[in-house]
Structure 1
Amino acid sequence: MIVLWEASDRVCGKRLKALLPILLPALERNDHLKLEEEIRHKILSMSAATIDRLLQMPRRTMRTKKKPRVVPEPRRRIKMRTFADWNEPLPGSMEMDLVAHCGEANRGSYVHSLVLTDIASGWTEAAPIVVREGTLVVETLERIRMGLPSWRYSPSRVTF
């Protein structure tokens, strides 16, 4: 059971139970596991609760203490809102983000995207910025604003 649990990335018993009919044949077909027919039948007929009981001890011994998550200072100071935090916003309530397209290395020259999203509808507008520079961001924002339908944009409702 531990081999199956590990192969399934240590999922809970309920998910492992649903995965067993697919996982067992795949592991056997690729010669990662060889089971006698009787044991195979017992494993497939096991309940999720039984699977969880059998894996109690391995879970305890393999559990490692996670390091506390370090939240960077700017993220602690800036209040982040999720979709659930909005109380039925009006169309035109926009959020803006600047996305860097630099891959894994944040150095050298690369393009940024200025992305505006209407909170109420999910309408998204994006525009490239070749260099991250304040006046270019303002110019690009104005260019996007001019292209928006009048009911989409209200300067008083854009949040940064």
Structure 2
Amino acid sequence: MSKLRAAREVMHECFESNECVETGRDLVDDVIFSRVSKLKRLNFKGFYTVVLEENDDLVSVATMRVCDNRVAEMPLVATTFRHCRRGMCRVLVDELDKNQMKLGVEKLVLPSLPTTVETWTNNFGFCRMTDRAKLLQYTSLDFQGTIICQKLLR
């Protein structure tokens, strides 16, 4: 099985299927496979899927896209249930942070479920983004009912 298909399975283990009304396609699939659309808000070109493996076993997955040279978004992050509570998401996010800093990215943003905001803020160095208007200049992926969190990379 390809890495992208395995990453898709991890995401579907952790997130409910979210079918796009306009296309009838699964949003997770569109992001993971970086599908292109003529509609700007449905264009997922430029997304990368990053995986963390342990002994050829896919452990944790994240999707990310650099919006410009300064801002990157990470809308989907998941760890398989059998590897939860082992710090694997921490390893993945730390590596992503290091690589984003090397590329000159200054800020990482992510949409968080209200139930996970505390985890992102207390354990991963994110804070709630108080001014969402700053993101309007970018086409970023957001979900209803989420709270946008940001992390300054230094």
How high is the TM-score relative to the length of structure 2? 0.26
Higher strand share: 2
Q: Over alpha carbons, which structure has the higher Rg?
A: 1
